[in-house]
Structure formats: structure tokens, C-alpha cells
Amino acid sequence: MIGRVRVRVVVNGVRHEREVEPRLLLSDFIRHELGLTGTHVGCEHGVCGACTVQLDGEPIRSCLMFAAQADGAAIATVEGLAPAPGELAPLQAAFREAHGLQCGYCTPGILMTLDAFLKAHPHPDEADIRAALSGNLCRCTGYQHIVAAVLLATRRNA
């Protein structure tokens, strides 16, 4: 039985250690304890995908996991995608060029989903991309420009 739990994680290559309540969601840990507010919180019940981060390389919903469960894990958030301040990762650059975002609320979750997807499937077709995006809601773009951005990124990668 534990009142507060210790969480030791490596986020985007940086070590962090905190004592937190067991009920603290991983999404709130990332935003409020670590100050990494690029991870967005939409529905908080696993439907919208805005809070998607990578846990040991795999995209997951950070609102459906407690921070305590991530003890010992490596987490990647959208802040870790770009190679350096002022630069964009190739996928981010493609989103910018192809107008793959409008309000941008869903974008961090979509990028973290697609970053993992493209590592496993570097040459997807449009149907594969749409299937990969099934768990991320976007209410602005109608997905057309998002799919176009991913195709642009994969063409450059070819």
C-alpha cells in the first residue's frame, strides 16, 4: 500500500523523477509535472487521440494510463521530434507545406502516431495511412491534407 509513488522516466532523452499521487494520469504528469504542454488533452477517455505519446516506442493514449505505470519507461512526446530548436522533423515540415493542420489541437497526437507508424511502414499507401490514423480525430481538415502531408513525407524519404 502506497500513498505517493515514485516515477522515474526518460522523456525525450531527459531523465525525470517525481513523487506523485497514484491517480495522476500520464497525460497530466507530462503536462503539469514536466511542463511539456505539447501533449494535448482532448476527451480524456481514449476516443480522440490528442494525448498520444510513445511509450518505449509504441504510440499509446497517455490519458488511459497512470503516471505510476510508466515508472522506468522511455517516453517520446512531440517536443522530441524536431532535431534542434528552430528546425522541424521531415514529417513536421511536410505537415507545414501540405497544410496538414488548421487549429493544431490534434496535431501532436497525430505526429506521434505517424512517427511510430512510418518507422514500421516507411512506404504506406493512402489506405494504410488512413487506417493508421483511425484513432486520431481531427475536426478541421477532413484528413485530406493530413494524408497528403504523409504521402509527401514518404515520397521524400523514398
Partner 1 sequence: MKPAPFDYVVAESVEHALAAKRRYGDEARFLAGGQSLVPAMNFRLAQPAVLIDLNRIPGLGDVRRENDVLAIGALARHRTLEHDPNVARHAPALAEAATYVAHPQIRNRGTLGGNLAQADPASELPAAAVALDASLHVRSAGSERQIAARDFFTGVFATALEPDEMLVRIDVPALPPRTGTAFMEIARRRGDYAIVGIAAVVTVDDARRCVRVRAVLCGAGNSPVCLAAPERVLAGHRGSEAGFAEAAALAGREIDPPANVHATADYRRHLAGVLVRRALALAVSRAEGGDPGGWRGRPAGRITT
Binding-site ranges for partner 1 (CB under 8 A): 1-3, 5, 21-23, 25, 28, 44-46, 49, 52, 55, 58-61, 63-66, 68-69, 113, 117, 120-121, 124, 128, 131-132, 134-136
Structural element, H or E, at residue 6: strand 5-11
Name the residue among 57, 80, 54 with its Cα closest to residue 65: 54
What are the Cα distances from residue 62, in Å, to 22, 44, 45?
14, 9, 10
Residues 6+ away with beta carbon under 8 Å from 86: none
User: Do 7 and 71 touch, CB atoms closer than 8 A?
Assistant: yes
CB nearer to partner 1: pick between 56 and 99? 56
Nearest distance from C-beta of residue 155 to partner 1, angstroms? 18
Nearest distance, CB of residue 127 and partner 1, angstroms: 9
For residue 86, the one-letter residue type is: G
Q: For cell 511502414, name the residue.
A: 121
| Closest to partner 1 by CB, 28 or 38 | 28
For partner 1, give the closer residue by CB, 32 or 96: 32
Q: How far is the CB of 150 from partner 1 (least distance, A)?
A: 12
Smaller CB separation from partner 1, 71 or 97: 71
Question: CB of 131: closest distance to partner 1 in angstroms?
Answer: 5
